[in-house]
Amino acid sequence: MMLRSIWALALATSIGGTLWAQSDSSSTAEDDFSQYDNLGFVDAGAKRFCSPKIEGLSPAKLISLGYDYQGAYNLSASNIFKIEDGTYAFDPNGQLTVISRGSQAKVNATYGVRAGFNIPVISKTNLVWQMGANYWNTQYAYDEPPTTESNLLHQTLSEHGLRTTGVNTTVFKPLSSKTFLLFQGSADLSGTYGIEFMPAQYLRYSAALIYGRRPTEKKQWGLGLARTYRVGEINYIPVVLYNSTDALNKWGAEVLFPARAHVRRTINPRNMLFAGYELEGQSYRLWRDPASGVDLRKEDLEIRRGEARFRMVYEFSLKDFIWLSVQAGYRLQYRFDVDRLVDGVEIYRAFGLLRDDSYAQNNVLGNPLYFNVSLNLVSP
């Protein structure tokens, strides 16, 4: 009898062990979560690093396909003057030498596709590296199509529009649980080119390096230096990063000054409203197809486009990771002048502090309302 009992016990233990292995291995005592309060890493040397994001930040866009539309405005193009050695050239009669006469025209709309993608290449606790590419196409719909008698700027914009194709990279290097370095770099080919790309010598490089701190999960800030074309021409400027979210996850700020600054209102994590501004700009090489009549390639002319966009943005999840972003606002021109590079070399004016070279053409644009809509795949 005793023997039978022991065998039964042994059998039960064996079966019980097997059943246990097939059931939830979480113990019944797990609801006492206090046992997890005071645990340390198994690896004594394991370090904590801060993450690139803060809580409540709007989601990063992995893939974006959008459409940008500006309403009607007048574009007043001045004469295109000849520039020699950084100053206006004069003819034998003492008059400014003019390449193309100025004229004003009405632009009914400026519109185009904007596409971009960003893919994480390395995503580790101690290093995040992302690569991306973007394509922006801007077309100018004139009220009356410019003719060969019109100013060259109007002809060029009407026939070819402006295009930017670029690649970019972002590296986030946490130094500790509270400090980090952020590097952003891009190479853009901007101009009036079509299917035939411009040579790589016309690539324009931008970069920013920021040292930052992340004192809490809901705040990060940093200071750095940027080489940028955001106001149209090359500049080296200080930059300030500031992202924060309030304790209730309702309000926040997303700032990379001076490039952009927005106040964020989080309706819920899938619905966000923003108010603020962004500076946009590039230097566009005037590069026409010789077949169209006028070839500006040897003129070394570039449109220095810089503008501020004051706007409201609404971003929300359509379904899971597909987000729609709708923005509307006011486009304020800062610069749309044409510069002549000296022997193809960039002019660094430092807002007139270092050089005061004249522009080959000074243009004035009206300031229209605009809207932008984009469909985005957002990052985990």
Angle at 62 between CA 330 and CA 205, to 5 degrees: 70
Phi-psi region of 249 (alpha: psi -120 to 50; beta: other; left: phi over 0): left
User: Which of residues 245 and 363 has its CB atom nearest to other proteins in the complex?
Assistant: 245
| Residue 292 to residue 300: CA distance in whole angstroms | 18
Give least dist CB 258 to other proteins, A: 29
- Taking residue 130's Cβ as centre, other Cβ atoms within 10 Å add up to 20
CB-based contacts of 276: which residues, under 8 Å, 6+ apart?
254, 260, 261, 262, 263, 310, 311, 313
- Residue 126 has φ and ψ, to the nearest 5°, of -100, 5
| Residue 158 to residue 145: CA distance in whole angstroms | 7
User: Which of residues 46 and 345 has its CB atom nearest to other proteins in the complex?
Assistant: 46
Kind plus residue range of the DSSP H or E element containing 337 = strand 322-340
Give least dist CB 267 to other proteins, A: 12
Residues 229-258 as x/- pattern, contact with other proteins by CB under 8 A: ------------------xx----------
User: Which of residues 218 and 297 has its CB atom nearest to other proteins in the complex?
Assistant: 218
| Contact in structure between 311 and 324 (CB atoms under 8 Å) | no
User: Which of residues 63 and 328 has its CB atom nearest to other proteins in the complex?
Assistant: 63
Q: Which range in 27-35, 99-107, 157-165, 352-360 contacts other proteins by CB under 8 A?
A: 27-35
Give the DSSP letter of residue 82.
Answer: -
User: Which of residues 122 and 223 has its CB atom nearest to other proteins in the complex?
Assistant: 122
Q: Does 19 bind other proteins (CB under 8 A)?
A: no
CB-based contacts of 66: which residues, under 8 Å, 6+ apart?
113, 114, 115, 325, 372, 373, 374, 375
Number of residues binding to other proteins, judged by CB under 8 A: 53
**Total residue count of the chain as it appears in this document:** 380
Answer for which of 28, 36, 85, 147 binds other proteins (CB under 8 A) is 36
Half-sphere exposure of 248 (CA within 13 A, CB side): 5
User: According to CB under 8 A, which residues from 166 to 185 bind other proteins?
Assistant: 177
- Taking residue 157's Cβ as centre, other Cβ atoms within 10 Å add up to 27
Answer for which of 39, 200, 291, 353 binds other proteins (CB under 8 A) is 39
User: According to CB under 8 A, which residues from 261 to 280 bind other proteins?
Assistant: 268-270
Among the listed residues 109, 202, 204, the one whose alpha carbon sits nearest the alpha carbon of residue 157: 109
User: Which of residues 8 and 350 has its CB atom nearest to other proteins in the complex?
Assistant: 8
DSSP state letters, 47-72: -----S--TTPPPPEEEEEEEEEE--
Q: Please, is 210 exposed, middle or buried when counting C-beta atoms within 10 Å of its C-beta (0-12, 13-18, 19+)?
A: buried
User: Which of residues 120 and 194 has its CB atom nearest to other proteins in the complex?
Assistant: 120
CA 228 to chain centre: 12
Q: Does 28 bind other proteins (CB under 8 A)?
A: no
User: Which of residues 372 and 376 has its CB atom nearest to other proteins in the complex?
Assistant: 376
Answer for which of 79, 108, 358, 379 binds other proteins (CB under 8 A) is 379
Answer for which of 87, 123, 176, 271 binds other proteins (CB under 8 A) is 123
Q: Which range in 57-65, 164-172, 255-263, 337-345 contacts other proteins by CB under 8 A?
A: 57-65
Give least dist CB 321 to other proteins, A: 5
Q: Which range in 23-31, 140-148, 283-291, 325-333 contacts other proteins by CB under 8 A?
A: 23-31
Q: Does 148 bind other proteins (CB under 8 A)?
A: no
Q: Does 30 bind other proteins (CB under 8 A)?
A: yes
Site residues, other proteins (CB under 8 A): 2-3, 6-7, 9-10, 13-14, 17-18, 21-26, 30-31, 33, 36-43, 46, 48-49, 51, 55, 59, 62-63, 119-120, 123-126, 177, 217, 247-248, 268-270, 320-321, 377, 379-380
